Structure 1
Amino acid sequence: MFLTIDETVYEDAHQRDCARVAALLSGKGPHSRASVADQLKMTSTATSHVVSDLTERGLVTERPGTKMGRGRPPIEIALNLGRLGASVIHISSRTLLGFLLDLGGTVIEHKAVEIPASSDNAAMADAMRQLVHWLIEKCPAGMVHLGTSVAVPGVVDVKARTWLITSRWPKVRNLDIGSALTSVTPVTIVCRHLDAELDARTTREVAYRSGNTLLLHWGWGIGLSCSIGGQPLLQNGGPFGEIGHWRFNALDQRECDCGNHGCLETGAALWAMLPHLRNLWPDISEEEEPLAEQLADLPLLNIPEMAEAIKLMARSLANVCRLLFPSRVIVTGPFVANADLWDAFTSTFNTEGLIGTLELPTLIADKFSQDYVIHGACLPLLNAGLETFIRENRRAT
């Protein structure tokens, strides 16, 4: 089930029943009024009232099912996934990727817009507005567009909906995304792409809902996200997890894109390693997904700067583990696609130790998936939008 519907947020009994029915219908079918009443232990009258209400408002559809034997075929009921939708902007490399999703999390439209590295706040805000406007225009007839979620890399203040720093666009600083999009979308959510990805992973993987889980991305930039028992560590929405900007004396002569010197990223991030890689392999990409394939079989351990990066990353992660004590750490990014590098990294990390007899967490190398970011960014909008829809009494248009 893609949606996470909570019936306990409703005070009205009918609304709670509507939420329960919607939650059931969002799972595997087929369903009929009788099967809904049976599974939810509702009376036939209450079930009929709920289904009729949601059908009139366009959230539920009814149609003849498969005929079995003699008599009329049963009437099957299902969620109308096209009734509600939301848009997501996801930043990948120097591209804005726009997606329009329905209530089931299916992408029904998408568009990519390249943004030059020289772009400033005004150019970025205008590109986002145009992309959201295009996505909304693609909403099918009868779909209510709930809002837009923007998943960004770099340093972000989620609560203030402000994109503070991004190394891909040096002139984009302190961009108030909420204000920039207020004229084109009813609701704007801003999230870090790492938080959205980890939220989606914990939603899909039951094992990640126990203990603490860290998601560490080692790519163009370096950052992490953390969940406790499947829930985000921080709820206030401020900046978090920017270990790429931890400072090291050994790196204090190197200037970082953030304006400081000695940041971890200056010795380990892709943007810092790229010149060394291209000295040996000029055609190396700076885009993470194709780069992962390119790096998979290259002798990266022969590069002195890479050996230094492995040590820096292993010590940084070990220090994080002494602070958050995770049960597992998921590591993504193009570097971990190289088996020899991954073995060297895990070996170096294991020599760091934790505290006393406490054991280090399990390390999991995984491929970055854009789908995780899109679904993690969109889910809060769809859940909140469905809740608002259930509380309202307006009919379908």
Structure 2
Amino acid sequence: MSPLTVGEKAGLGVPPRGALPSSPGALFQLLRDGVPRTKADLAAETGFARSTIATRVEELLASELVTPAGESTSTGGRPPATFAFNPAARCVLAVDLGGTHARIAVTNLFSEVLAEEEQELAIALGPATVLDAVCATGERLLAQTEMGHEQLIGIGIGLPGPVEFATGRPVSPPIMPGWDGFDVPGYLRQTFDVPILVDNDVNAMALGEHHLIYPDVANMMFVKIGTGIGAGIISDAQLQHGAQGAAGDLGHVAVPDGDQTPCTCGNRGCLEAVASGPAIAAYLRSQGVEVPNLSALLQLVRDGHPEAIQATRGAGRQVGAVLASCVNLLNPSVIVIGGLVSTAGEHFLAGIRETVYSRSLPLATQHLRILGTLTSGRAGMLGASALVTAHTLSAEHVNLLLAGTSAAGQGS
């Protein structure tokens, strides 16, 4: 199959377009939940003739996306065979890039990790150096899992800066020198000839947390607070990008109290300038507390240092003041707080909750939960995987995959 650009996608999570209801890709959507079904079950669910179902199942079996799953309970006579989604049929290369780190994994089609590696990798080294390291690590992990390029169905990558989702190109990223407008999918495709999806790292984290922890929550936010501050928005169970992919840029919303601290974006009083990890550390240094880096700040909080606890809780209140407006506007039922600063413990979360619940409308907070992340720093990587499977396993792209399988004799 020829690789597809992100701009050719029908849209993440959008009901399939361009795929006939009786196509194999459309039938495959019923099987993606992993529940085994017989041909009779599929005929009953779709209303299609059994001959059509039989043909489509055979096509899906040939692609290995569907596999025999044993026999169903018989009510008399020979038990009918069942079929189910085979998540081991293909794999995904999932990449989470931060300011100074990279977490890279090969996952199956259920976003279950088969092999992973975390390494120090400064995004400031530039796109060629960083992406070459990603490719080398990806090749190594594929070899570890005994998967080849022919089993790789796509690559998902989260970047720590604004990304134009339609093209996968970073746009004026503040901590990524040399990345502005760089063709990330095009560069990676020189090594991996597969669909490549690139998004902001916080969007990937939101998708990962939703996919793994809160799949039944239709409206949620993921807020990352570390060197910078950003948010990923899930609305009606869909990740929201906005018109150009800039939705969720929480860090450059002005704090309500009129703080005039200069921000790296050129404005003053942005949330990131007063409540990010470096901002908290800078404030403490101005008060005579020795805080050389973010790790030292977190250690002071864990050790019970009163000024560090007070500053961290105060930063949480600033975050909460901005989130209160988001709660009134978007009405999420869950807000997940992630990023390095969130590991400071309950002091930071307490500051957020205190302000959100006091400033938001009672109806909007009636069932609202504000929680720390439960994915242990893996949300971005898992979200990058889910980004790929949502695209490549859609009805129209499964049909394209099967067409390639039929023409070339193998899936690609």
TM range (shorter): 0.7 to 0.9
- 1:306 matched to 2:308: no
Q: CA deviation at 1:150?
A: 0.9
Give the alignment of 1:155-194 within 5 angstroms.
155-164=162-171, 173-185=180-192, 186-194=194-202
Corresponding residue number in structure 1 for 2:32: 26
Q: CA deviation at 1:220?
A: 2.7
Which structure exhibits the higher relative contact order, with contacts defined as CA atoms closer than 8 Å and separated by 6 or more residues? 2
Structure 2 residue matching 1:315: 3-state secondary structure: helix
Distance 2:320 2:92 in 1: 39
Q: CA deviation at 1:165?
A: 5.5
Corresponding residue number in structure 2 for 1:46: 52
User: Structure 1, residues 191-217: CA drift from partner, whole Å, max 9, x if none?
Assistant: 1222223334445636521xx533322
Distance 1:339 1:7 in 2: 40
Residue 311 and residue 251 in structure 1: after superposition, are their counterparts in 2 closer, same or farther (change >3 A)?
same
Structure 2 residue matching 1:159: 3-state secondary structure: coil
Q: Is the 8 A contact 1:152 1:192 kept in 2?
A: yes
Q: CA deviation at 1:114?
A: 2.1
Corresponding residue number in structure 2 for 1:285: 295
- 1:123 matched to 2:129: yes
Distance 1:323 1:66 in 2: 48
Distance 1:20 1:294 in 2: 54
Distance 2:237 2:172 in 1: 28
Corresponding residue number in structure 2 for 1:208: 217
Deviates more, 1:323-332 or 1:105-114: 323-332
Corresponding residue number in structure 2 for 1:77: 83
Distance 1:230 1:126 in 2: 34
Corresponding residue number in structure 2 for 1:242: 249
User: Structure 1, residues 72-115: CA drift from partner, whole Å, max 9, x if none?
Assistant: 87645333333332211112452222222222322223233421
Corresponding residue number in structure 2 for 1:228: 235
Q: Is the 8 A contact 2:209 2:373 kept in 1?
A: no
Q: Is the 8 A contact 1:159 1:236 kept in 2?
A: no
Q: CA deviation at 1:353?
A: 4.7
Structure 2 residue matching 1:189: 3-state secondary structure: strand
User: Structure 1, residues 367-389: CA drift from partner, whole Å, max 9, x if none?
Assistant: 25244433432234224323323
Structure 2 residue matching 1:9: 3-state secondary structure: coil
Q: CA deviation at 1:117?
A: 6.5
Corresponding residue number in structure 1 for 2:205: 197
Give the alignment of 1:147-158 within 5 angstroms.
147-158=154-165
Residue 195 and residue 335 in structure 1: after superposition, are their counterparts in 2 closer, same or farther (change >3 A)?
same
Q: Is the 8 A contact 1:64 1:73 kept in 2?
A: no
Distance 1:68 1:28 in 2: 21
Q: Is the 8 A contact 2:96 2:380 kept in 1?
A: yes
- 1:95 matched to 2:105: no
Q: Is the 8 A contact 2:94 2:156 kept in 1?
A: yes
Q: Is the 8 A contact 1:219 1:333 kept in 2?
A: yes
- 1:219 matched to 2:226: yes
Structure 1 residue matching 2:88: 3-state secondary structure: coil
- 1:366 matched to 2:337: no
Residue 300 and residue 335 in structure 1: after superposition, are their counterparts in 2 closer, same or farther (change >3 A)?
farther
Q: What one-letter code is carried by the residue in structure 2 that aligns with 1:179? A: G
Q: Is the 8 A contact 2:158 2:201 kept in 1?
A: yes
Structure 1 residue matching 2:111: 3-state secondary structure: coil
Q: In structure 2, list runs of 5 or more residues that go unmatched.
A: 1-11
Structure 1 residue matching 2:304: 3-state secondary structure: coil
Q: CA deviation at 1:219?
A: 2.6
Structure 2 residue matching 1:220: 3-state secondary structure: coil
Residue 213 and residue 283 in structure 1: after superposition, are their counterparts in 2 closer, same or farther (change >3 A)?
closer
For normalisation by structure 1, the TM-score amounts to 0.76
Corresponding residue number in structure 2 for 1:390: 399
- 1:144 matched to 2:151: yes
Corresponding residue number in structure 2 for 1:339: 346
RMSD: 4.1
Q: Is the 8 A contact 1:94 1:168 kept in 2?
A: no
Structure 1 residue matching 2:97: 3-state secondary structure: strand
Distance 1:298 1:171 in 2: 41
Q: What one-letter code is carried by the residue in structure 2 that aligns with 1:155? A: P
Residue 39 and residue 321 in structure 1: after superposition, are their counterparts in 2 closer, same or farther (change >3 A)?
closer
Residue 300 and residue 219 in structure 1: after superposition, are their counterparts in 2 closer, same or farther (change >3 A)?
farther
Q: What one-letter code is carried by the residue in structure 2 that aligns with 1:177? A: V
Distance 2:215 2:138 in 1: 33
Corresponding residue number in structure 1 for 2:324: 318
Identity value in percent: 19
Q: What one-letter code is carried by the residue in structure 2 that aligns with 1:227? A: I
User: Structure 1, residues 159-195: CA drift from partner, whole Å, max 9, x if none?
Assistant: 3422346666566555432333231232221112222
Q: What one-letter code is carried by the residue in structure 2 that aligns with 1:101? A: T
Structure 2 residue matching 1:83: 3-state secondary structure: coil
Give the alignment of 1:253-268 within 5 angstroms.
253-254=261-262, 256-258=263-265, 261-268=268-275
